[in-house]
């Protein structure tokens, strides 16, 4: 079992709709959870971080964490073509600064 | 404020040669990380520096890889001798806390 699992996609969503990206992780001791966006040939760009159960909203993005189910998701409202990218779920086991475990990423395509 | 920078952006070398990658973290960030993404795989952790000390090097593939961070500022990652399977994108990241900021990566191709 992979430590961080994501559906590789591609996930195709019409412009203006809600895109829902999901991620599960295996280590119950995980403390910090991140969503990175990566455009083709570019570096990962942090878009959301979440540390406690529940929802965290930032603009059009909402991260949801459920530690009991070991599940973290990212919702993108009012999807735009510029949101088309690979979204990487990443998990940090310790509460302090330490290595991040990445999922393989979900390719999201927003169709006009 | 400048972000994480990496040099070179691309490197093409022959099997058996040596390559040195450089990373300059965000100023003031004590934590510096190296990651690698090989074709078709997820980004994998290589090692973590806190200032000049190696905090965790559990992800280093083998002893052909040597990372240094003299003085706790920039870091270098040397691959000697390079093998075909070392090809991939090498990312550096830095943090002052829990959030890691990534550099643009060095694309390494070993022929």
Model pLDDT, residue A96: 63
Percent above pLDDT 70 for chain A: 97
Binning pLDDT at 50, 70 and 90, where does residue B1 land?
low
The predicted pLDDT at position A29 comes to 87
pLDDT band at A2; cut points 50, 70, 90 = confident
Question: Mean pLDDT score of chain A, rounded to an integer?
Answer: 93
Distances (CA, A) of A74 to A56, A93, B82: 10, 19, 39
Nearest to A104 among B42, B97, B104 (CB): B42
Considering chain B, what is the average pLDDT of its residues?
94
What pLDDT does residue B2 have?
Answer: 79
Condensed to tens digits (0 to 9), the pLDDT of residues B46-61 reads 999 999 999 999 999 9
Per-residue DSSP letter, A40: T
Burial group, residue A24, by CB count within 10 angstroms (0-12, 13-18, 19+): buried
Work out the number of other CB atoms within 10 angstroms of the CB of residue B110. 20
Report in angstroms the alpha-carbon separations of B18 from A30, A32, B79.
Answer: 37, 36, 6
Strand order in the sheet with B19-24: B5-7, B19-24, B75-79, B65-68
Burial state string for B21-55 with b = 16 or more CB within 10 A and e = fewer than 16: bebbbbeebbbbbbbbbeeeebbbbbbbbbeeeeb
Residue A99 to residue B33, Cβ atoms within 8 A: yes
Euclidean distance between CA atoms B54 and B74, whole angstroms: 13
* Residue A41 scores a pLDDT above 90: no
Over range B66-84, report the average pLDDT.
Answer: 95
Q: Where are the beta strands (DSSP E) in chain B?
A: 5-7, 10-13, 19-24, 31-37, 44-50, 53-56, 65-68, 75-79, 88-95, 101-102, 106-110
Determine, for residues B91 and A96 on separate chains, whether the beta-carbon distance falls below 8 Å: no
CA distance B75 to A30: 28
Amino acid A95: pLDDT: 61
Residues of B in contact with A44 (CB under 8 A): 43, 91, 102
When scoring A2, A39, A44 by the number of chain B Cβ atoms within 10 A, the one with the most, hence best to mutate, is A44
B55, B58, B98 member nearest A92 (Cβ): B98
Cβ–Cβ gap B97/A88 under 8 Å: no
d(Cα A11, Cα A105) in Å, to the nearest integer?
Answer: 11
């Amino acid at each position: 079992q992979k430590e961080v699992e994501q559906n590789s996609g591609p996930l195709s969503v019409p412009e203006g709709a809600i895109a829902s990206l999901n991620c599960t992780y295996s280590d119950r001791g995980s403390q910090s959870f991140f969503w990175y966006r990566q455009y083709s040939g570019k570096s990962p760009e942090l878009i959301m971080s979440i540390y406690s159960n529940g929802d965290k909203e930032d603009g059009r993005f909402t991260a949801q964490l459920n530690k009991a189910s070991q599940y973290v998701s990212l919702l993108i409202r009012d999807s735009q073509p510029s949101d088309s990218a690979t979204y990487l779920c990443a998990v940090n086991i310790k509460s302090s600064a330490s290595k991040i475990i990445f999922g393989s990423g979900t390719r999201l395509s927003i169709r006009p | 404020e400048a972000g994480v920078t990496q040099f070179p952006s691309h490197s093409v070398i022959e099997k058996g040669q040596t390559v040195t990658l450089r990373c300059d973290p965000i100023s003031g960030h004590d934590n510096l990380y190296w990651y690698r993404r090989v074709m078709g795989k997820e980004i994998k952790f290589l090692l973590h520096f806190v200032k000049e000390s190696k905090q965790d090097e559990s992800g280093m593939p083998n002893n052909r890889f040597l990372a240094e961070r003299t003085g706790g500022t920039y870091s270098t990652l040397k691959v000697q001798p390079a093998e075909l399977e070392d090809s991939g994108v090498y990312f550096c990241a830095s943090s002052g806390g829990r959030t890691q900021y990534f550099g643009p990566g060095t694309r390494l191709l070993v022929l």
